[in-house]
Structure 1
Amino acid sequence: MMYKVYYQDSKSEMPVREKTKSMYMEADNERAVRKLLKDQQINIEFIQLLEGAYLEYEKESEHFKLQENVSS
């Protein structure tokens, strides 16, 4: 399954919507995404399952790039 992860670059700063970034990951479930990202120094705001028409829409975005390696 494909997931879109909304995050901030720093765990220590208060989240600001204008600084929110996103990445795309493939995993079996949301828990697996969190496990893959647990060593990253990012503040995860939201993890969204992408499927159907919404997934196809996201794939058309110039920002769509599947994360290959998320190790620190």
Structure 2
Amino acid sequence: MSNPTHDAPEAWITSSYSGNDSATTNCVEVGFGKAGAHVRDSKDPEGGSFYLPAEAWTQLLAIASKIQVPPAE
């Protein structure tokens, strides 16, 4: 999906699954625009983001909530 700059988020939220050591933790951040969500890598915030329209973001959350993730070792 494209990354419309006119809808760029003003703030980013880091996933609650992030650890305290951002250098070794794989994590995503999400920023909300007027019509959807931008998602980016928290370790490379200048590397760009991808954009999901609101309906696609809602569908992604519904699917992700059904996935069972095993605990970290």
TM-score (norm 2): 0.30
Higher relative contact order (CA 8 A, sep 6+): 1
More strand as a share of residues: 1
Higher gyration radius (CA): 2
